[in-house]
Amino acid sequence: MTLIPEAFDMAVTFDHPEFDHHEQVLFCTDKKSGLKAIIAVHNTNLGPAIGGCRMWLYETSGEALTDALRLSRGMTYKNALAGLPHGGGKSVIIADSHKDKTPELIEAFAHHVRCLADRYITAEDVGITSDDADRMARIAPNVGGTSEQGLGDPSPYTALGVYHGIKAAAQHKFGDANLKGLRISVQGLGNVGFRLATHLYEEGAILTVSDVYQPNLDKAIATFDADTCAPDQAHLVDCDIFAPCALGGGLNSKTIPEIKATVVAGAANNQLLKAEDDEALRHAGILYAPDYVINAGGVIAVAMTGNDEKAEAEATEKTVAIGETLLEIFDAAKAQNQPTGKIADQIAEQRFDK
């Protein structure tokens, strides 16, 4: 007798290729609001898991599970390397954030989050705004990045961390952390990319900017007196540093041989299309700042419970320290002749005791 219908599209969690001994995977529903969500708690060795909630209209439940498993694991590594007393988790709501989001749906999700009060802290991510986080926080105490109890929008901290990460990369590669006169290609000028470009411009870097969204591009050209290129040409720019701040997967077997910069350091999550692209970058003589290390400023801010000057100062200090962490990774990678992503993974695994 078989209990599983033939059309079942989702690998059983324990057999899923992305399953990595996740401590808990919760499937959450609410019939009234139409909520369908997955919360994945990957590892809590260092403390309660922290990681945002993504609202995305996945084509299948299997895709949503894949994302939840992969993203929550990534948060364990990110939080460990950021020196946070937190493990990794992530949640996904299967819905279109433009069409399906209702207060009832957000609240129904928050009730599920509350059940994990000691084990998982959620926050905003793609499709979830700080207003949504505030709404959740009225129901669940375990919501970060809210305006009342936290530092609000994490993007300024992410941008600050990427800026200091870029300076660390310049120090390692060019022997000088000063970015004045260096040409930097910034791909994606949204919440993080625009703020990053501001830091770079203020230090005297020469910018080439790109975005698929014309208003953001126009604003950047005017503000930074920047050159521009087509978004899919950003990696081809003859520059010192390429900073991907849009979507993931941009570093792959096609783009890596075409990259002119000798440093890749930007905010985008999941920049490497495949794990082996880490080594391909090293082989091409390109110094790569592992994405989850350089873009940890946002989660550092979300992990703060206060919203006063002390919390701001602490989050800023930890975010600036991302530069130091990257220097350690770059030095170890050079000494061991290994790709930077692999070294980052090893350090994280030691910290959370994999």
Interface with ligand NAD (CB under 6 A): 154-155, 158, 187-193, 210-213, 216, 231, 245-248, 267-269, 295, 298
Nearest residue (CB) to ligand NAD, 25 versus 160:
160
Q: Is the dihedral of CA 170, 174, 176, 181 positive or negative?
A: negative
CB of 162 to ligand NAD, least distance (A): 8
- Return the number of other C-beta atoms located less than 10 Å from residue 329's C-beta: 26
**Is 295 one of the annotated binding-site residues?**
no
Annotated active-site residue 90? The verdict is: yes
Contact 54, 132 (CB under 8 A): no
Those residues whose C-beta lies under 8 Å from the C-beta of residue 9, and which sit 6 or more positions away, are 60, 61, 62
| In the complex, least distance from residue 337 CB atom to ligand NAD, rounded to whole angstroms | 29
Asked whether the beta carbons of 314 and 158 are under 8 A apart, the reply is no
**Of the listed 36, 78, 90, 318, which one is catalytic?**
90
Shortest gap between Cβ of 216 and ligand NAD (angstroms)?
A: 4
In whole angstroms, what is the distance from residue 215 CA to residue 219 CA?
6
Of 43 and 191, which CB lies nearer to ligand NAD in the complex structure? 191
Question: Is 41 labeled as ligand-binding?
Answer: no
Measured from the CB atom, the residue of 35 and 191 that comes closer to ligand NAD is 191
Q: How far is the CB of 191 from ligand NAD (least distance, A)?
A: 4
83 is in an annotated binding site: no
Instruction: Give residue 254's identity as a one-letter amino acid code.
Output: K
CB closer to ligand NAD, 125 vs 278 = 125
For 263, which DSSP code?
E
188 is in an annotated binding site: yes
Cα gap 73→122, rounded to integer Å? 14
Where does the chain have alpha helices with state H?
Answer: 61-81, 103-114, 130-137, 155-174, 191-202, 214-224, 277-283, 291-294, 297-302, 309-320, 322-336, 340-352
Residue nearest ligand NAD (C-beta atom): 190
- For the annotated binding site, the residues are 188-193
Give the residue numbers marked as catalytic: 90
- For the annotated binding site for NAD(+), the residues are 188-193
